[in-house]
Structure 1
Amino acid sequence: MRQKSITWRALKRYNAYNPKYFPLCFLQKVFQNLFFFFELWITAEIVNALYEGRQKEELYLLAAAAVFGLFFTRSVSAVLNRAVSTALEVLENNENAAFNHKTLSLDYGKLEDPEILQHRRKIDENKCINNYGTGRMREILLSLMDSTVNILFSMILFGSMLGQMTAASFRWQILVLLGALTGCLAMNILCQFRQTKRISSCWDEIGDLMLRENRLWSGHILAGTDSRLYRQQAIVSRENRKLNNEHKKAFQKVKSKNFILKIPVTIFNKLTTACSYMIVCFYCVMGIFSVGDLIRYVGYLGRVTDSIWLLFSIAADIRGNERFLKTYLDYFDIENEMYQGNLAVEKRSDKKFDISFRHVSFRYPGSEAFALRDISLDLKVGERLAVVGMNGSGKTTFIKLLCRLYDPGEGEILMNDFNIRKYNYRQYLDLFSVVFQDYHLLSMPLGNNVAGSAAYDREKAERLLEEAGFGERYHKMPQGLETPLYKDFDEDGVEISGGEAQKIALARALYKDAPFIILDEPTAALDPIAEAEIYAKFDEIAGDKTAIYISHRLSSCRFCDKIAVFHEGRIVQTGSHEELLSDPAGKYYELWNAQAQYYT
């Protein structure tokens, strides 16, 4: 991708979020500048009329034109201001929606990739701290519109001025003044370029410091128990004072540097203005320009010189913003690599979906260590499988590969003798209902949470909530399934406990009615007895589904047909509870006895 195409590509994407926004902005700039130029022109006409002693009727007509013209342009500007504000709100909402859609459409593995998470974070930080990226691009384009409209209006109104100037006899003084005006304007632009180039790195340094300050406070939760017991406020405050001092020094440095660099810019800017005044005054003294023309043309020259200077400044801003736009575009350019498959998953009333892991190994992106190593395991329809082992042994990774959130690095996973990669990805995911340890409920009505959709079977949802053990709490909810969970979006929302949330998550897994149902330690925070009761109850509800239970507490899964013992990413034992316990040299026996001593 060529560097010069970055801003254009970003602008095309940004404009697509609301194509009405920039045309409305252009109209807004037209009427804002029209107000200024009309005010300048009508004022000059009124001054000329008074100076020349014209009739009262003409003065009244000019006054009426002034009132109507200014009222009209100001009214249209007000309407456009409101329309632009609304259009910007729509644009920003659509941009956020596009970001969320892109994030949700990424492969699951990419969502857990630290580099991609940091990439998205950089975009948000650039936007929040210095408005770099699309926000700065929008500001630059609005400045470009303003300058362009200014120059166009000035050129149109300069017609009468140039006509009067060319009609007058040539004077060498005018040539000198025009040369001085051009030279001062060129030097003004050159000095501005120099100032922008040297200051930009200083502002980047301040931006980095602001990011560190922001991360410091957002990364530390100082309202909890740890901050009080370990006096963490003092540690964080000390680090914050250090960053504040660095920020202060950097800010003083940039202000001092900017003051020095701005001296020649200010000098040449004032000289440019002075030359404009001298040209107009020279023709006024010669009797070519009237008193009203003096007011009018000085205003025109001032606006056009400022606009020309701003155009060159915009060019520098575009270059400085391009690296942030590249970060923005690169996020949308991230491509999914997971094969989606095209083989339809057969709809079977007998739920006969046999799964086989064949020598499967897997490493997480960016990691050199294997999370799973040479896993071979068969899972038959209707079977109860327990996956047990110590923390970090690979249990949850096994489930992620089973559900095809990741693909194996080595080996293959088969379903009914076909590699699962060949199946339609969405249809394959529909085979699984999983309650992970870090499950989430939405701040939406209870019924939508259970069904996972806007439309649902009320009778089925109520029945499954009862079966999951949520019935007593449900009957106390005045709005029933329409009761909003949490208060994020509704003041009438209800707060639910962790245990109640678990039951809703279990009901959600049952509502999906998938052939495979998996519990990945969602009850790890409960005591062993309560966990065992929930697992046993859930096993009864699961019926003829194939069920997988994950736990590091062996007692919770002793009822299962088969137990797979994971250790350091490998399956070291398989068998029933009795079979595994009969092997004193096995890992299961070791774990069982290690845990049993705490409950006897």
Structure 2
Amino acid sequence: MKVHIQQSKLKWHYLWRGLRFIHAKVPSLLPSVALGALLKAFSPFITIYLTARIIDELFGARSAAYLAWLAAVTVILNLIVYLLQKAMERIKDMGEFRLLYFGSFEMDQLILNTDYENVEKPDFHLKKQKIDEAANMNRRGIWQLPELISSFIANLCIVAFAVTLSIPLFLALSVHSDSFFNSPWLSLLFLALILCSSLYSVRSNARFSKWAFHKMDAMMPINRAFSFYGHLMQDHQLGKDIRIYQEQKLIKKAYDDFNRRGMVSFCFDISRRQGRFWAGSAALSALISGFVYLFVGMKALIGLISIGSVVQYVGAISQFTTGFSELITSATDIWQDLDYVELYFKFLDTPNPKYKGTLPIEKRNDNEYEIEFRNVSFKYPGSGIYALKDLSLKLKIGEHFAVVGRNGSGKTTFIKLLTRLYDPQEGKILLNGIDIQKYDYQEYLQLFSVVFQDFKLFAFSVGQNVAADVHYDKERAMECLDKAGVGDRIRKMSKDLDTPLYKIDADGVEISGGEAQKIAIARALYKDEMNQPRHLIRLPNLRSIPNSRKLPATKPRFTSRTDFLPAASVTIF
């Protein structure tokens, strides 16, 4: 019981947090949702109520002026409500589009700024993947919340309006008639019948919604694989391997297998369940409608209500049965969707495990800087195997050092620890005798320029890739490209430094792997030269340190260069 209460409190917390988030990012969205839902609910009751009055007037005084006034009011009110509703829908659609952007942007910002070790955690990616799949398959989570809130408000208003217009029917009794249809017990019996049928419809609808919800969840792993193989067929960068090794049949078979296991089975199950659900709902609706017409018609026959009121009560009760069922369904959908809202905010709340430190980096005129690895051991999250074990070494300026080891023996891990992309679980890394975790994290990162083996360039201009900034020194950028050995190639491009890398537009160019590597080296040189004079460390293909060794090293600026070689070397200038 306590667990259930705690879960309910947690869901209410994420509901309010979700609403606050939506209002903060798109202030116009929730008001347009609420007003649009109210107008949508109110719209049918204009026609129901005023049509009843028109019919009563036709069977009564038949005043042409009054009939004209009623008709004009009906048309004008419907027009006003329709125009306002469309205006709210437009604002809502634009707001939902903006929410889609801002909701995704918040996740992207987290990924860009969170500690690197979070980015490499499998569960971090699984959370993000589940959020994306839920959003893509049915826009679940924070993105579906406005639509569900709109449905809930609209159906709540429909029920309220319907009850308001229906109450006189059950109070319409005459002291001059002893007819069975004049009995208050019949009204209570009929009311109970409507409520029971509505509850049954609610139960059926909720069961179907819950089944469809869990069915969609079960589809996610299959959809993930299905999308993966679809991506393989579309990615032009994989075309060389696919053609050389003739992998077309292999990929197509996997694609077809997941399509058959997932989409075909899913669509068949959904269609079958939907068919049964809709057939049952239609039969129940027809039965209730028959009883409504019989009950209201007999009330009118014995003179308890007017002819026009027949239209009013039949319309109102029909709206109530539909609205009440949809109200519970929308509430259930909101409750289920909150699981994905919770997942979204838990992802955004991913903590940064790294201690940022506050000490500034010491500025020394004698260039006596030393980094020491003291009994450092490290293993990646979720792994029981040490990537580095009990490593002790020192790095000093002015010496040469070579790191040699087999693939997977820890060379790249060593550089990740040196640059504080990770912190060791055991031992310490010291800069001039002080634990590097005590230094200001961002200031410490500025000491290093690293070119890893799996470096990345981006679809920006060449100059922006080199400078890693929008505004940069073009002369310095070209100088660094010349030092890296690719300056002449850049000068021959249509816009030299302003030429976009990759085919993002007509002026974009595709560069070779070797050219990309040289541009990445120029990027490291540019960062290094922004704070001249500096000492440079080049670390090609750092993959492992086979055992504990003493290292020389550097001033507080280290540039690591990675080439595709079986071993690594460090040169200190």
TM-score, length of structure 2 as denominator length? 0.83
Alpha carbons of 1:462 and 1:239: their partners in 2 closer, same or farther (altered >3 Å)?
Answer: closer
Would you say 1:5 and 2:20 are equivalent positions? no
Would you say 1:179 and 2:179 are equivalent positions? no
Q: For 1:116-135, what aligned pairs fall within 5 Å after superposition?
A: 116-135=124-143
Q: Is the 8 A contact 2:225 2:258 kept in 1?
A: no
Q: Residues 313-352 of structure 1, C-alpha deviation per residue, up to 9 Å, x if partnerless?
A: 2343344444444433432343222111121223456655
Alpha carbons of 1:172 and 1:67: their partners in 2 closer, same or farther (altered >3 Å)?
Answer: same
Task: Report the Cα offset of residue 391 of structure 1.
Answer: 1.8
Q: Structure 1 residue aligned with 2:207, among 197, 220, 239?
A: 197
Alpha carbons of 1:287 and 1:13: their partners in 2 closer, same or farther (altered >3 Å)?
Answer: same
Q: Is the 8 A contact 2:373 2:428 kept in 1?
A: yes
**AA of the residue aligned to 2:481:** L
Q: Structure 1 residue aligned with 2:158, among 132, 146, 150?
A: 150
How far apart, CA to CA, are the structure 1 residues paired with 2:438 and 2:388?
Answer: 22
1:423 corresponds to: 439
**AA of the residue aligned to 1:284:** A
Q: Is the 8 A contact 1:385 1:548 kept in 2?
A: no
SS in 1 for 2:469: coil
How far apart, CA to CA, are the structure 1 residues paired with 2:497 and 2:267?
Answer: 55
How far apart, CA to CA, are the structure 1 residues paired with 2:124 and 2:571?
Answer: 39
Would you say 1:507 and 2:519 are equivalent positions? no
How far apart, CA to CA, are the structure 1 residues paired with 2:563 and 2:465?
Answer: 25
Q: Is the 8 A contact 1:276 1:301 kept in 2?
A: yes
**Structure 2: tracts of 5 or more residues without a match:** 544-553
2:95 corresponds to: 87
Bigger mean CA deviation after superposition, 281-290 or 103-112: 281-290
Q: For 1:22-33, what aligned pairs fall within 5 Å after superposition?
A: 22-33=30-41
Would you say 1:560 and 2:567 are equivalent positions? no
Q: For 1:56-455, what aligned pairs fall within 5 Å after superposition?
A: 56-158=64-166, 161=168, 165=172, 172-173=180-181, 175-190=185-200, 192-194=202-204, 196-197=206-207, 200-201=210-211, 204-205=214-215, 207-209=217-219, 211-219=221-229, 221-222=232-233, 224-228=239-243, 230-247=245-262, 248-249=264-265, 251-253=267-269, 255-257=271-273, 259-260=275-276, 265-348=281-364, 352-455=368-471
**AA of the residue aligned to 1:363:** K
How far apart, CA to CA, are the structure 2 residues paired with 1:403 and 1:168?
Answer: 92
Alpha carbons of 1:326 and 1:80: their partners in 2 closer, same or farther (altered >3 Å)?
Answer: closer
Would you say 1:460 and 2:476 are equivalent positions? yes
Bigger mean CA deviation after superposition, 218-227 or 449-458: 218-227
How far apart, CA to CA, are the structure 2 residues paired with 1:454 and 1:54?
Answer: 77
Q: Structure 2 residue aligned with 1:498, among 513, 524, 529?
A: 513
**AA of the residue aligned to 1:182:** A
Bigger mean CA deviation after superposition, 303-312 or 316-325: 316-325
**AA of the residue aligned to 2:172:** M
Bigger mean CA deviation after superposition, 490-499 or 195-204: 195-204
Task: Kindly tell me the number of residue pairs found equivalent between the two proteins.
Answer: 542
How far apart, CA to CA, are the structure 1 residues paired with 2:32 and 2:218?
Answer: 35
Alpha carbons of 1:178 and 1:332: their partners in 2 closer, same or farther (altered >3 Å)?
Answer: same
Bigger mean CA deviation after superposition, 245-254 or 116-125: 245-254
Give the CA RMSD over aligned residues.
3.5
SS in 2 for 1:472: helix
Q: Is the 8 A contact 1:342 1:422 kept in 2?
A: yes
Task: Report the Cα offset of residue 195 of structure 1.
Answer: 5.8
**AA of the residue aligned to 2:18:** Y
**AA of the residue aligned to 1:300:** A
Alpha carbons of 1:294 and 1:180: their partners in 2 closer, same or farther (altered >3 Å)?
Answer: closer
SS in 2 for 1:390: coil
Alpha carbons of 1:281 and 1:204: their partners in 2 closer, same or farther (altered >3 Å)?
Answer: same
Task: Report the Cα offset of residue 434 of structure 1.
Answer: 0.9
**AA of the residue aligned to 2:501:** L
Q: Residues 521-557 of structure 1, C-alpha deviation per residue, up to 9 Å, x if partnerless?
A: 4799xxxxxxxxxxxxxxxxx9996555556748984
Q: Is the 8 A contact 2:373 2:391 kept in 1?
A: yes
Alpha carbons of 1:93 and 1:544: their partners in 2 closer, same or farther (altered >3 Å)?
Answer: closer
Q: Residues 381-411 of structure 1, C-alpha deviation per residue, up to 9 Å, x if partnerless?
A: 3544432322222111000000001111211
% identity of equivalent residues:
32
**AA of the residue aligned to 2:571:** C
How far apart, CA to CA, are the structure 1 residues paired with 2:437 and 2:491?
Answer: 44
**AA of the residue aligned to 1:560:** T
2:546 corresponds to: none
Q: Structure 1 residue aligned with 2:48, among 14, 26, 40?
A: 40
How far apart, CA to CA, are the structure 1 residues paired with 2:414 and 2:176?
Answer: 92
Bigger mean CA deviation after superposition, 305-314 or 287-296: 287-296
Bigger mean CA deviation after superposition, 441-450 or 183-192: 183-192
Q: Is the 8 A contact 1:188 1:268 kept in 2?
A: no
Q: Is the 8 A contact 2:103 2:143 kept in 1?
A: no
1:54 corresponds to: 62
Task: Report the Cα offset of residue 272 of structure 1.
Answer: 3.0
SS in 1 for 2:385: coil
SS in 1 for 2:430: strand
SS in 2 for 1:373: strand
**Structure 1: tracts of 5 or more residues without a match:** 525-541, 563-600
- Considering Cα pairs closer than 8 Å and 6+ residues apart, tell me whether 1 or 2 has the greater RCO: 2
